[in-house]
Structure 1
Amino acid sequence: MIKTDRVSLEAQLKQIEHIEQTPYISIVQKINPIDPLNLFAHFAHLKGERFYWSNAAGDLTFVGLGTFKELYTDSSDDRFLAIQDQLNQLKESINVLHDFDVEGVGPVFFGGFSFFDTPHRKEWESFPENNFVLAKQMLTVKQGEYFLTHHIEVSPNDSIEVLLNQIEQETEAIYEAGLFVQETRKLEEVQDQLSFDQWSSMIAHAIEEIQTTNLEKVVLAREVEAVFDRTIPTEDLLYALTNQQQHSYVFVMEQGEEAFIGASPERLVSVTNQVMYSACLAGTTSRGETMDVDDLLAWRLLNDEKNLEEHRYVVNMIREAVQPICTHLDIPNEPQIYPLKNIQHLYTPVQGQLKPEVTLFDTLKKLHPTPALGGEPRQDAMNFIKMHEPIERGWYAAPIGWFDQSLNGEFAVAIRSGLIAGNRIKLFAGCGVVADSDAKAEYDETNLKLTPMLDALGGNRDDDYGE
């Protein structure tokens, strides 16, 4: 039998007697190691109420189980700050009893925003324009230490003994997680939403707009749907992505019978004690089969004017967006290479000291979408995408991540992602179109970007997908 740290928990619960009574408590215990993937898979009966997050550095992982509270708003006027306002209201009702000085324990909200602030079509109706979940139980793995957060609704009549027993039962259930075993399934087909001719026509239209209007760059996306012979378990794909895609943000958000899942290389923003980190990630090539070929491909990328131009758009936009809200900003003059398993990118890190009144949500509002996901000028690009891109982006290419009560947190850009529904998964990939873009080259780039998810699913990256 797994024993809880009853002394620590009892000491935390005794604080209730000395704090003004509120309806909810957040209590944390340090626990023995448990595998996050096994835990996520074990609670398959909570499908629709699970989340998973691991950061690109590999030193922070969350597994959320059950829904305790949600934050969401139907208003599109200022959906970022509306979530912040809801957090400020809710946190007045939560007694945070623990005293662990550890990032990512206690009340942590996980979720995301959609790319556009307008209602979705049917395939994305389970994922509203913004939605964040506070889990009933949450595992946090931080730099090799393991913590379990419990969120509990309490009443004046609840005794410490009753609450202790509840926490112990929940902890016992956590440790019943056994070894996860993947299922086998067969990929039956991959359906492309656009033929190559349709794609070429859309790219040609974009180039014409760039040459004749104020539009300088627009990011256009494709959607393919992979169909399997049986239901796709979220945990199967999560396991594959975690093992295959190092140095990526791996995430799952479940809603009802559907799941949004991905392994993104791109941080949008993180904030810790008013220090902001962001990233410029634009410009892509493949990896080489040998070290020499890999180095040659990286060198070509670093010297390719089309990719460098695309990267400069992103760097300049992020600088212009965050400079007014920072007291200090550090952005290197030249990009470097960011290597992943299948592809490599041009990458420039960004660090800044936020002004005292600026929050994480202010930075999200400033940065989304970057030119790497939307285009430049932003509104012109967004208008073009709305008018000419025939897919529903939903949460693809939008911010996904977490924040705590102090508005520390981190958001990735939800690329290299897919929407699971039964035995089907919709996959998305985009590319930046500028004046000298070539439709075939951009099509090949999107195929390359589809590779991580198709590999994890067992698909064949050499398929033409309708070309």
Structure 2
Amino acid sequence: MVEKMKYIKNDLILKNPLSFWANFPESERFFWFDPQKEEFVIGAERLRAVDPDKDNLSDIPYLFHSQTFFDDVKGERWKNFGGETIAFKHYFVANKKTSYYLTCDPPKNISEIPLTKIKHQISEKASDFSDWEELFQAISQNFTDGKSKKIVASRELEFLSQSPFELESILQNLLENNPNAFIFAYQKEQRIFLGASPEILVQKNGNQLLSYALAGTFPKTMENAGEKLLTDPKNLLEHEIVVQKIKKNLLEKAESVKVGQTGLMELKNVYHLRTLLTAKSSKSSLIDWGKHLHPTPALGGEPRHEALTFLRKHEKHERGLYAAPLGLIDNEGNGTLIVGIRSALINEQKLYAYAGCGIIPSSDALEEFNETKVKLKTILEAL
């Protein structure tokens, strides 16, 4: 039986919440900004990994949960990174009403650390367009064979920096550039996964559930992009595939499901089609729901098994935590799991940026490639 922990609450006001993160440079740590609540939660120094199905977690203020995209992880890049539910020794919570420090250890002396934004000098290792064309052709053949009706393909781009990446600078830029997104970071030893995700996989508050269908994209550089997106047949079809699959999966475990109106989600560089789905269920935990819904057709494809089998065979990179569920759970079991998109993995002076897009039979290889370039701006503009 795991010993019950007692967290002591201390008032702590910081001009910039990132100062708390910066006070633990060598620790395992996470950063979380919830735009709905306008709340920061930051954890530092691993206490232990927990099993939500067996452990009593009522004494732990927050748990950071992540799930790898595939059940198995190939290669060294993502090895032993993510795929856990973790309790931390120290937490900082700040919103419009309150600001405090929770610890089950002797409290650290948290100092205000001046944060300087810098412009990283980076270079792309190599173009991957030929790999993209090869992947697109394989997807087209899959459609021709009648196996899938949608597959979400992704790219991994490697960048080199002339100096180590300044994480606080990147996170500050992500916060300023993406006010409607969940800003997240998770660091374990030398590796850091971070990003600005606009997409909720599942959110739980008591017996109330919320999920986003987020699929269909136009760049904001297009004239009247939002209006055109709302009537574009290709994007509406891609979006409807996601809506119907999430609804079906929710109904498998929920007591009732409501599908909202499809509208626009506006981000810094793009518009997305978004439909909110709400449900009622008192039977399953947030993590169970995350496992049940992942991946939606917005991240994997449809049918799910065929799309995942295809991606495992044909994508040359390992997804790791990219496009996978991660998020925060409170001591009542409520919280939010997003999907780790608009994201990058940093390891010392290397950065691996990820972007994907949904492909259906009417898709064009170059148009979809250009869509991923727009999505990559979320990370590149933060550097």
TM-score under structure 1 length normalisation:
0.78
**CA distance in structure 2 between the partners assigned to 1:347 and 1:206 by the alignment:** 25
Letter of the structure 1 residue corresponding to residue 49 of structure 2? E
Give the CA deviation at 1:197.
2.9
Q: Which residue of 2 aligns with 1:452?
A: 378
Q: Which residue of 2 aligns with 1:347?
A: 274
Instruction: Determine if the alignment matches structure 1 residue 84 to structure 2 residue 12.
Output: no
Q: 1:301 aligns with which of 229, 235, 241?
A: 229
Q: Does structure 2 retain, via aligned residues, the 8 Å contact 1:207–1:437? A: no
The alignment partner of 2:91 has SS state of strand
Give the CA deviation at 1:402.
1.4
Q: 1:219 aligns with which of 140, 152, 155?
A: 152
Q: Which residue of 1 aligns with 2:113?
A: 178
Count of residues in Structure 1 that have an aligned counterpart in Structure 2: 382
Change (3 A) 1:25 1:208: same
**CA distance in structure 2 between the partners assigned to 1:42 and 1:89 by the alignment:** 30
Q: Which residue of 2 aligns with 1:63?
A: 42
Aligned residue runs from structure 1 range 241-280, under 5 A? 241-280=174-213
Q: Does structure 2 retain, via aligned residues, the 8 Å contact 1:111–1:253? A: no
Give the CA deviation at 1:150.
1.3
Larger radius of gyration: 1
Change (3 A) 1:141 1:227: same
Q: 2:329 aligns with which of 381, 403, 409?
A: 403
**CA distance in structure 1 between the partners assigned to 2:380 and 2:2 by the alignment:** 48
Aligned residue runs from structure 1 range 23-422, under 5 A? 23-29=3-9, 31-34=11-14, 35-46=16-27, 49-71=28-50, 83-85=51-53, 88-91=54-57, 96=59, 106-128=60-82, 130-152=83-105, 166-167=106-107, 170=108, 173-174=109-110, 176-187=111-122, 189-192=123-126, 194=128, 196-288=129-221, 293=223, 296-332=224-260, 334-354=261-281, 356-422=282-348
Give the CA deviation at 1:329.
1.5
Q: Which residue of 2 aligns with 1:10?
A: none
Q: Could you give the per-residue CA deviations for residues 362-419 of structure 1, whole angstroms, max 9, x where no partner exists?
A: 2112210000000000000000101111111011000010113332111110000000
Q: Which residue of 2 aligns with 1:462?
A: none
**CA distance in structure 1 between the partners assigned to 2:37 and 2:172 by the alignment:** 15
Change (3 A) 1:437 1:340: same
**CA distance in structure 2 between the partners assigned to 1:418 and 1:345 by the alignment:** 21
Question: Which shows bigger deviation, 36-45 or 360-369?
Answer: 36-45
Give the CA deviation at 1:178.
2.4
Q: Could you give the per-residue CA deviations for residues 258-317 of structure 1, whole angstroms, max 9, x where no partner exists?
A: 10001011011110111101101000111148xxx4xx1111111111111110011000
Q: Does structure 1 retain, via aligned residues, the 8 Å contact 2:26–2:189? A: no
The alignment partner of 2:55 has SS state of helix
Letter of the structure 2 residue corresponding to residue 68 of structure 1? L
Give the CA deviation at 1:244.
1.1
Change (3 A) 1:305 1:51: same
The alignment partner of 2:280 has SS state of strand
Runs of 4+ deviating beyond 4 Å: none
TM-score under structure 2 length normalisation:
0.95
Q: Does structure 2 retain, via aligned residues, the 8 Å contact 1:192–1:223? A: no
Give the CA deviation at 1:32.
4.0
**CA distance in structure 2 between the partners assigned to 1:28 and 1:311 by the alignment:** 46
Give the CA deviation at 1:330.
1.4
Give the CA deviation at 1:336.
0.4
Letter of the structure 2 residue corresponding to residue 200 of structure 1? E
**CA distance in structure 2 between the partners assigned to 1:438 and 1:306 by the alignment:** 11
Letter of the structure 2 residue corresponding to residue 306 of structure 1? K
Letter of the structure 2 residue corresponding to residue 136 of structure 1? K
**CA distance in structure 1 between the partners assigned to 2:269 and 2:370 by the alignment:** 14
**CA distance in structure 1 between the partners assigned to 2:132 and 2:89 by the alignment:** 45
**CA distance in structure 2 between the partners assigned to 1:330 and 1:321 by the alignment:** 13
Letter of the structure 2 residue corresponding to residue 110 of structure 1? F
Letter of the structure 2 residue corresponding to residue 284 of structure 1? T
**CA distance in structure 2 between the partners assigned to 1:22 and 1:116 by the alignment:** 30
Change (3 A) 1:342 1:202: same
Q: Which residue of 2 aligns with 1:9?
A: none
**CA distance in structure 2 between the partners assigned to 1:392 and 1:428 by the alignment:** 11
Give the CA deviation at 1:198.
2.7
Which has a greater percent of helix?
1
Give the CA deviation at 1:211.
2.3
**CA distance in structure 2 between the partners assigned to 1:428 and 1:308 by the alignment:** 24
The alignment partner of 1:25 has SS state of coil
